[in-house]
Amino acid sequence: MKYILLITCTLALQFGFSQHTLTPESSITDVSVFSSGAQIKRAASISLKLGENIVILKGLAQDINSNSLNVTGNPNYLIKSVKHQMNFLEDASKNSELLSIESELKDTDFKLGTRFSLERVYKEEKNLLMANKSIKGESQSLLAEDLKEMAAFYREHLEELEYKLLEINQEKQELQLKKQKLQQQLNKSRSMMNGYSSEIEIVLNATRNVIVPLEVSYIVSSAGWFVTYDIRTSEVDKPIQLVYKANVSQSTGLDWSNINLTLSSGNPMVNGNKPSLEPWYMSVYNAGLVYGAYKLQQSNKSDDGERKDKYEEVDFNTRSFNSPLGYTSQLTESVESLLSVEFKISIPYDIPSNGEAYEVEIQRGDINSDYLYYAAPSLETTAFLLSRLTDWSELNLLPGEANVFFQGSFVGSSFLDPYSTEDTLDVSLGKDKNIIISRDKMEDFCKSSNFGGNKKTNRAYKIAVKNNKSIPVFIKVEDQVPISQQNDISVTVGEIIDGSINEKTGIITWEINLDPGETKEVSFSFEVKHPKKMKIARL
């Protein structure tokens, strides 16, 4: 009796603590998108049994970073292990766009098939009509009325058949073209999907039979976002409107539907170890070594050319835009941390898995700006209108291309670089043809002469600026004199009218105020002395 009781208890323990395998449906709830990569949070409801439970989440993206896996704990279970693995027996889940294209392609194939069938029917009817076009027998005489009646019959029916055949042929061509385009789009979408899915296996020990929520997070590489801006202004005496936009894309193979979206300037995919200085030993110049150092430097940059640790070097500040109603930017919260800044979008978003960039407006508001004109007539005799943003350091800006609109018209693209150390950030608003600029040689002062073994070359230029606008303008004009890097070449700067020179760069600057219709002239000159046998370029 004692042995029977022992066996019964052992069996009860074995059955009571047997493994239980679950494959629950999970959904993406939150996504934090980085400049490269994204952190995805999934949620599922699981029914655990007392003892060991194996939970398998299937149909996940292929490019999951296994080191980033994180399972949220719960008092009702103990997490024994978490493992990510590929599933080569199951294809990756098809996204909604792929299913839609396949459905439309199937419908197009059906319509094309019906057109081919109708074409065969009408051709058989035409052949039947033509085979029975005889309207009299050998012993019969043909009456005029019969001839007219039969001719009208054949004409009417042949005309109808020919029209239907032409109509079907045109529909076939249109459907075949549509099928070709759908097939191309299907191939493109399939190429962007992972060939196989992956899965996460989680082993849990439950203290009792219970239904609990399960949350899992991981990082994928096939996602990212970049910044673009819209800069709009109507008059030079009004603030600039800046629209701060994120362009989000992903090709994980799974659509993000109705998810909570957060955009982060950080990048967890890069090495976060601090750099260390090594002894700097002097050596003879070697071109191969220099090229190798250059390649190493390039490898430490991201795809957009910025340093990979650039975001970690920036001290971001928090500032909210005063946004009008009707824009998603009003529903965006800006949160800064020690290493990055995050933008939390408070309305759900859909981001299909097709690799295309979807625009999300982050911030919108007016910024105080000073306006001035700039010209470098040695490069281009055109004045550019510049806007100097004075509060840019408080806007949590990131480097990005800006589309510039002036007085409602697109005037071109510029680039915002908030990593500048200047107090102001210059944005080019395009060319203004109402500022007329000319740069001419002053021939009376341009000459060359030989003195012993040396040659002297003199150059002088006159710059004229005219304001054809109806309002006063302020313009900054820059030109330059050459800088010598050899002892046997000397440059002597002559008279500079109403300008100042930077001795290190050779750049001359004039700051000119012009009334409506006013013209002002400035000039400069220089002399270059060098050995007679030496040829000097650009003089």
- Quote the Cα angle for 80-71-252, to 5°: 125
Q: Which of 376, 428, 380 is nearest to 401 (CA)?
A: 428
Interhelix angle 144-192/96-131, rounded to 10 degrees, is 160
SS (H, E, C) 269-323: CCCCCCCCCCCCCCCCCCHHHHHHHHHHHHHCECCCCCECCCHHHCCCCCCCCCC
If DSSP codes are grouped into helix, strand and coil, which group holds residue 137?
A: coil
**Predicted confidence (pLDDT) at residue 405 exceeds the cutoff of 80:** yes
Kindly report, residue by residue over 96-114, the tens digit of the pLDDT: 667 788 888 888 888 888 8
Kindly report, residue by residue over 112-137, the tens digit of the pLDDT: 888 888 888 888 777 777 776 555 55
* Amino acid in the structure at residue 194: N
Q: What's the chain's length in residues?
A: 539
**φ, ψ (nearest 5 deg) of residue 523:** -155, 165
pLDDT at residue number 242: 87
**Predicted confidence (pLDDT) at residue 417 exceeds the cutoff of 60:** yes
- Quote the Cα angle for 409-415-421, to 5°: 135
Q: What average pLDDT does this structure show over 159-164?
A: 82
Kindly report, residue by residue over 73-92, the tens digit of the pLDDT: 888 999 999 999 887 665 54
- The residue with greater pLDDT, 205 or 236, is 205
pLDDT at residue number 126: 77
pLDDT at residue number 342: 84
Kindly report, residue by residue over 321-372, the tens digit of the pLDDT: 333 345 555 555 555 554 567 888 888 989 988 888 999 988 888 888 888 8
**φ, ψ (nearest 5 deg) of residue 319:** -150, 135
SS (H, E, C) 233-279: ECCCCCCEEEEEEEEEEECCCCCEEEEEEEEECCCCCCCCCCCCCCC
Q: CATH number of the domain at 442-531, please?
A: 2.60.40
pLDDT at residue number 132: 64
pLDDT at residue number 306: 40
pLDDT at residue number 463: 95
**Predicted confidence (pLDDT) at residue 510 exceeds the cutoff of 90:** yes
**Predicted confidence (pLDDT) at residue 398 exceeds the cutoff of 50:** yes
Percent of the chain scoring above 70 in pLDDT: 73
Average predicted confidence (pLDDT) for the chain: 78
Kindly report the pTM of this predicted structure. 0.58
**Predicted confidence (pLDDT) at residue 229 exceeds the cutoff of 70:** yes
**pLDDT-wise least confident of 16-20, 197-201, 309-313, 378-382:** 309-313
The Cα-based distances of 30 to 218, 324, 337, 527 in angstroms read: 11, 27, 19, 67
Cβ atoms of residues 39 and 68 within 8 Å: yes
> How far apart are alpha carbons 98 and 11 in whole angstroms?
51
pLDDT at residue number 41: 95
197 exposure class (CB count in 10 Å sphere: 0-12, 13-18, 19+) = buried
Q: What average pLDDT does this structure show over 175-197?
A: 72
> How far apart are alpha carbons 443 and 204 in whole angstroms?
90
**Predicted confidence (pLDDT) at residue 536 exceeds the cutoff of 90:** no
Count of alpha carbons within 13 Å of 467, Cβ hemisphere only? 18
**pLDDT-wise least confident of 389-403, 437-451, 500-514:** 389-403
Kindly report, residue by residue over 480-504, the tens digit of the pLDDT: 999 888 888 888 899 898 899 998 8
Kindly report, residue by residue over 265-322, the tens digit of the pLDDT: 877 766 666 677 777 665 444 444 444 444 444 444 444 444 333 323 333 233 333 3
Cβ atoms of residues 181 and 29 within 8 Å: no
